[in-house]
Structure 1
Amino acid sequence: MSIAPLTEAGALDGDISGSEPLPRWVFPPESGFTADDLDRLPGIPPHTELIDGSLIFVSPQTRFHSLIMFLLERELRRAAPVDMRVRREMTVTLGKRQRPEPDLIVVRADGDTSPQQTTYQPADVVLAVEVVSAESEIRDRERKPALYAAAGIPHFWRIENAEGHPTVYVYELDPATGSYALTGIHHDRLKLGLPFEVDIDLAEIDDL
């Protein structure tokens, strides 16, 4: 997200006279933002992420994004074993300056610590899912998978919009290299045995 420069009066350059100044949390402290800051910055927008010490703000959700999220969340909840839970739009604290928010995660049940919990640890996460958006292509395809792999999250799915239909790229962590290996590309049906048995009719997105 780009931010226009401030004028001497404190308003955004190009704004009309009398515009509100930028909130204090836009400006990082001298030491930079940390993962804990997401819980204490007043007025921070919902679903803000921290990647490489920078605050990342989300764009409005597309219809495709909403539909595929609904489909995957519903089917993962049906398929998940009793010792796992599906969570939507919750952050994972990967390090002091890394706190991304995957679109979906599957976590171990004992990773739930309290109703006030705002984040998970990477050891709690079995699967991270990202639905690629136009404004987040590089993050979703490159930076975030690299962070998830480095943190040891064993499974990662990347969902691409192919003219309104989902294509699911499935990755598994290679412990020898510490990076993800592509294990399959799925168009009409997502049928897998890991991290647990799933069989999802991706074409159902047309009926939602």
Structure 2
Amino acid sequence: MADLPDWMRPPREEGWFAEDLDQLSEAPRHTELIDGALVFTMAPQRYWHGRIIDDLTAALRNQTPSGMEVAREMTIRLDARNRPEADILVTSASIDPDMTWFEPADVLLVVEVVSPESTFRDRTVKLRKYAAAGIPHHWRVEDEATGPVVHVYELDEPTGAYAPTGVFRDSLHLAVPFEIDIDLAKLVPGR
């Protein structure tokens, strides 16, 4: 611990809390809080990952109804010890330009684009945490040899868990959380 910079030291014996993230100006850009532990994305981002986020964000913004906003790479304050960063989210919250996180009750859809270093977190940890927080819709986007594949989940309220509702490869047509029609084959050129 002696060789760590001061900003990496937890501010209290109990570790990190959600509000602490806003005080870590020296932390890497994509720092998340998972179960009170800081998680840093240190691996270089692949072109594919960034392009999928860009293209899905644009597609969702073009189709989002009035009263909803699309945000990218923002954290969701699930509870006092968890503030994961979603790659994309759709919210019904009133937007404040200075906000740094969203409440789960205001998030309608969360999208995680899987990268090699985030595979376990995106497939298991975040999936369970977003469901437990009551976020009604979740997409997990994976890279396959033929292009992006989107795994779509909907919250089953009685169990508090996500139920898979489809796996989409060439096109994505959904009626919830709003009418969505995305040509997945055109998202990333060169495949």
> Into which bin does the TM-score normalised by the smaller protein fall?
over 0.9
Q: Is 1:52 aligned to residue 35 of structure 2?
A: yes
Retained in 1: the 8 A contact 2:18–2:33? yes
Retained in 2: the 8 A contact 1:91–1:119? yes
Query: What residue number does 2:132 align with?
Result: 150
| Deviation (angstroms), 1:60 | 1.9
TM-score (norm 1): 0.86
User: What whole-Å deviation, never above 9, does each CA across 1:80-109 have from its counterpart, x for those lacking one?
Assistant: 001100000010000010000010000004
| Match 2:119 to one of 119, 129, 137 | 137
- State the percentage of identical aligned residues: 51
| Deviation (angstroms), 1:24 | 1.1
**Matched residues in 2 for 1:131 and 1:177: separation?**
25
Q: SS of 1:207's equivalent?
A: coil
TM-score (norm 2): 0.94
22-31 or 160-169, which moves further after superposition?
Answer: 22-31
**Matched residues in 2 for 1:205 and 1:130: separation?**
15
**Matched residues in 1 for 2:145 and 2:39: separation?**
26
**Matched residues in 2 for 1:158 and 1:41: separation?**
28
Query: Which protein is richer in strand relative to its size?
Result: 2
Q: Is 1:94 aligned to residue 78 of structure 2?
A: yes
Q: Is 1:167 aligned to residue 167 of structure 2?
A: no
Query: What residue number does 1:71 align with?
Result: 55
| Deviation (angstroms), 1:165 | 1.2
- What amino acid maps onto 1:204 in structure 2? K
- What amino acid maps onto 1:135 in structure 2? E
Runs of 4 or more above 2 Å deviation: 205-208
Task: Decide which structure has the larger Cα Rg and report it.
Answer: 1
| Deviation (angstroms), 1:175 | 0.5
Residue 77 and residue 26 in structure 1: after superposition, are their counterparts in 2 closer, same or farther (change >3 A)?
same
**Matched residues in 1 for 2:5 and 2:25: separation?**
9
Query: What residue number does 1:23 align with?
Result: 5
Query: What residue number does 1:18 align with?
Result: none
Q: Is 1:80 aligned to residue 40 of structure 2?
A: no
| Deviation (angstroms), 1:26 | 1.8
Retained in 2: the 8 A contact 1:64–1:164? no
Which structure is higher in RCO with an 8 Å CA cutoff and minimum separation 6?
2
Q: SS of 1:199's equivalent?
A: strand
- What amino acid maps onto 2:160 in structure 1? G
Query: What residue number does 1:207 align with?
Result: 189
Retained in 2: the 8 A contact 1:105–1:128? yes
Give the gaps of 5 or more residues in structure 1: 1-5, 11-20
| Deviation (angstroms), 1:47 | 1.7
**Matched residues in 2 for 1:171 and 1:35: separation?**
26
